[in-house]
Amino acid sequence: MKWLFKEADSNMYREKLYGCRSPRSNIIKTLTKALETKDFINAGHAERLQDLVVATARSVGLHTNAINGLRLLAHAHDVGKVSISSGILYKPGPLNEEEIKEIQRHCEIGHRIALSSPDLSPISEWILMHHEWWNGEGYPLGLKGEEIPMECRIFAIADAYDAMTSDRPYRQAQSVEYAVTELRRLAGSQFDPKLVEVFIKVIQSSNCKPNVIGLR
């Protein structure tokens, strides 16, 4: 019963984060706006991700609590990038080995930030694991296959798709067709192959424009 009350309390707060009258939602809005102001995320990235992960999660039958958590993850996943040098984030060319290690730290930094916030602590583990790969070659934990939470596997596909179909400091946006081809090419290595096909069906059935619906 103690666990159930704790879980119900966490779910209630997640719901309130999306209520327009809830002052607690200002925490996430302020955080997102701060990241956008510093250009750590491109405008509209979080909103597009939210649409994509919610649609995919519903397609695979995830429950409401998981969907609410994914909405929150869409807005807070990159919070750890506040500590990463802008010279690395905006570098026009490929990153060197040391720069790659530096940018990979954002998952662990974001995890620690989330643990310190009652609003973000329920998704702190997802923030830590949202760059894990299906084949175990991701970071920071090197988790493999279904060791990675379903929510993180869905998020990773949506994040990569949005990164490919949006302008980045180091390249212009790619076409939807290119992104779909890349997702299928990386299915089984970077991404859960079954979820890739679910995701592709979601975007192909959507009437939204592709950039209205990382790889750094």
Which band of pLDDT confidence, cut at 50, 70 and 90, is reported for residue 20?
Answer: very low
Greater model confidence, 90 or 143: 143
Using a pLDDT cut of 70, give the percent of the chain over it: 74
Mean model confidence pLDDT for the chain: 82
Greater model confidence, 151 or 117: 151
Q: Do residues 162 and 203 make contact, with C-beta atoms less than 8 angstroms apart?
A: no
Q: What is the pLDDT of residues 23-37, one digit of tens each?
A: 445 566 666 666 665
CA distance 4 to 25: 24
Give the pLDDT score at 60.
Answer: 97
Q: What's the average model confidence in pLDDT over 181-199?
A: 98
43-47, 101-105, 112-116, 194-198 — which is least confidently predicted?
A: 43-47
DSSP state of 168: B
Nearest to 86 by CA among 131, 120, 154, 35: 35
Q: Do residues 74 and 49 make contact, with C-beta atoms less than 8 angstroms apart?
A: yes
Greater model confidence, 163 or 197: 197
Quote the tokens at residue 178.
């290119």
Helix axes 150-164, 45-59, angle to 10 degrees: 130
Distance in Å from the first CA to the final CA of the chain:
42
DSSP states of 18-64 as a string?
Answer: T-TT-TTHHHHHHHHHHHHHTTSS-TTHHHHHHHHHHHHHHHTT--H
- The angle formed by the CA atoms of residues 72, 73 and 74, to the nearest 5 degrees, is 90
Whether the model clears a pTM of 0.85, i.e. scores above it, the answer is no
Q: Flag whether pLDDT at 209 surpasses 90.
A: no
Q: What's the average model confidence in pLDDT over 60-89?
A: 89
Greatest mean pLDDT among 28-32, 106-110, 154-158, 163-167: 154-158
CA distance 111 to 208: 32
